[in-house]
Each structure stands twice: as structure tokens, then as C-alpha cells.
Amino acid sequence: MKTTQFIAHFDTEAAAIQDQARCHPWWLYANLLSLDAPIVAVVWLGAFSRAFDSPVAWSVYAVLFLAVWSIYVADRLLDGLRQKNWSLATGRHRFVRRHQKGFVGLLAVILSLGAVITLEALPADLILAGFILCLLVVLYFTAFVRLFPQLKPLRAKEFACGLVFALGTALGVNAVRSGVFNEPEKYLTPILLFAALCIYNCLIIAARERCEDRANDPVAASVWWKQLDRDLTVLGVVLLMGGGIAWLLSGQSYLYPACLLSALALVSVHFFQGRFSDSLSRVLADVTLLGPLLLLI
């Protein structure tokens, strides 16, 4: 009897492992490992660098990648502490929960490596800009993520996330840091357009994760924004029109077409969302932000 029970238990565990494997196709692992956001960040850092003819050292790419990766890993670890209903948690949150110790160790390695490269290779003005951005990230976590039970998080975290992400990406380019205040129409406009893309990306993901957010994230846009699905279509049209007008007025032949390409892809993901699973929609929403790569082909 005991032997039979052992075999049954072994078969059950094997089936569970197979089920997990089926739930995690290869194209999902960048999202599960929080690698999608840092990949998008370095791609757009390269886009800003090319658009403004301002070369960026490898160390800047490395630190940006590691910084964004650490923020997203930390965010998911913190989300794990705040989950109220794990049965409705997203796949990426369940994945982090299953490998929590590994992600904590990974976070320590990322932070250590990023600190070493920063102190050894980055210029002083970029370190200062990075320090200011770190303060913004801390402010974001304090205001929009429930770190303390007595503090109620604010709404519109998707907007704050998109804006901080865009600023953190673009300020890695020396020309942007030195010219954003002197020529705001040249440098600030594309940053804000990229921020709008990031915000739209976050809102599309929120719209697909409405059930999960209602259970575990009461300040997500899908919870308080009642007509989010309908308004995303309108916002997509506005984003495309705004990008087109900015392109015509500026004459910039790379950055604005990249923004328009990503915007068109994002709107398409939203329009055809019913044909994709939630996981695939989440991945596609991030893949669409790789528009600058297509213009290099």
C-alpha cells in the first residue's frame, strides 16, 4: 500500500512539473525573469543615442540594464508580500514566489555588479543624474506601492512608472542630459512621447489583468478606470496622431518613426487582444516597444 501511495505521489509531482512546463513556453521566460523591461530600456537608449548622434559607452548600457532589472525584480518581490489571493495572482508573480530565494540572491548580485560598474566607469554627471532618478524610484515605491500598511497607495501608478522609465532611459545619453533644459523642444518632446508609449503599454497590460488586479492590486488602473478598454482605443489614436505631428514638425528621421511604429503595434495588440491569451498579450505589449530595432533592418 505504501509503495502504491509513493508511486502515486511521484506521478502526481511529475504531472505537476509537466503542467508547469506547459504553462511556461520559451517565449514567456523573459517576462518571468523580469528581463523584458531592461531589454526595452537598452534598445531605446540606443535609439536616443543614434537620434542625437551621441555615442554611449558600454558601461552606461550595462548599468541601465542592471538598474532596471533590479527595480523590476524588487517590485515583484514586494508584490509577493502584498498578494491577498494567490489563486488569482499573475503567472509572473507565482513564478517569483516559487523561486523567491533565487530572486533575492539574484537581486543582490545585480545591485552589487551595478554599483561596481557605476563607481568604476560612469562619469560624475551621470552618477548625479542616476542618484536623482533613484530618489524618484524611491518616491514611486513610497507613493504608488503599498510598502507600509498605514499608507494608502495612490492611483495612476502606470503614469508614474512610464514617466520615470522614459526619463531613466533617455538621460543615459550625454546630449540629452546637457540639452534637455536648453532645447526642451528637441529633447524633451521625444522623451515625453516615449513616456506616453510606456504608459500606454502599462495600461494595456492592466486592462488584461483586471481580475488579478481586483484581487491583489486595488489601485491598478483597471480597477478605478471603469471605461479603460474603451478609452484605450481613443488614447491609441491620440498617441498615433501626436507622434505623427511631432515627426512632421521636427523632421527627425529615426526616433519619431520608431515611436510611431511601436505605437501602431501597441494599438494593434489592444485591438486584437481577444485573439491572444493573457500571457501572450503581456509579452506582445512589451515586444511592440522594440520598434527601433525594426528600423535598423
Name the residue among 295, 227, 239 with its Cα closest to residue 268: 239
Q: How many distinct structural domains can be found in the chain?
A: 1
Q: How many CA atoms lie within 13 A of 24 on its CB side?
A: 18
101 located within any domain: yes
93 located within any domain: yes
- Reported confidence tier of residue 46, pLDDT bands at 50, 70, 90: very high
Domain containing 80: what range? 31-294
220 located within any domain: yes
206 neighbors 222 (Cβ within 8 angstroms): yes
10 located within any domain: no
For residue 146, the surrounding DSSP H or E stretch is: none
Phi, psi of 156 (to 5 degrees): 70, 30
75 neighbors 196 (Cβ within 8 angstroms): no
pLDDT value at residue 18? 39
Phi, psi of 218 (to 5 degrees): -65, -15
What are the angstrom distances between the C-alpha of 190 and each of 83, 166, 258, 259?
36, 10, 10, 8
132 located within any domain: yes
pLDDT value at residue 1? 42
**pTM of the entire structure?**
0.89
Predicted confidence (pLDDT) per residue in 219-276, tens digit: 899 999 999 989 999 999 999 999 999 888 887 778 999 999 999 999 999 998 888 8
pLDDT value at residue 2? 42
**Cell numbers at residue 155, please?**
492611483
32 neighbors 47 (Cβ within 8 angstroms): no
pLDDT value at residue 174? 93
CA distance 196 to 110: 28
84 located within any domain: yes
167 located within any domain: yes
Highest mean pLDDT of the ranges 53-62, 81-90, 249-258? 53-62
Q: What is the mean pLDDT of residues 8-28?
A: 51
Is the model's pLDDT at 21 over the cut of 80?
Answer: no
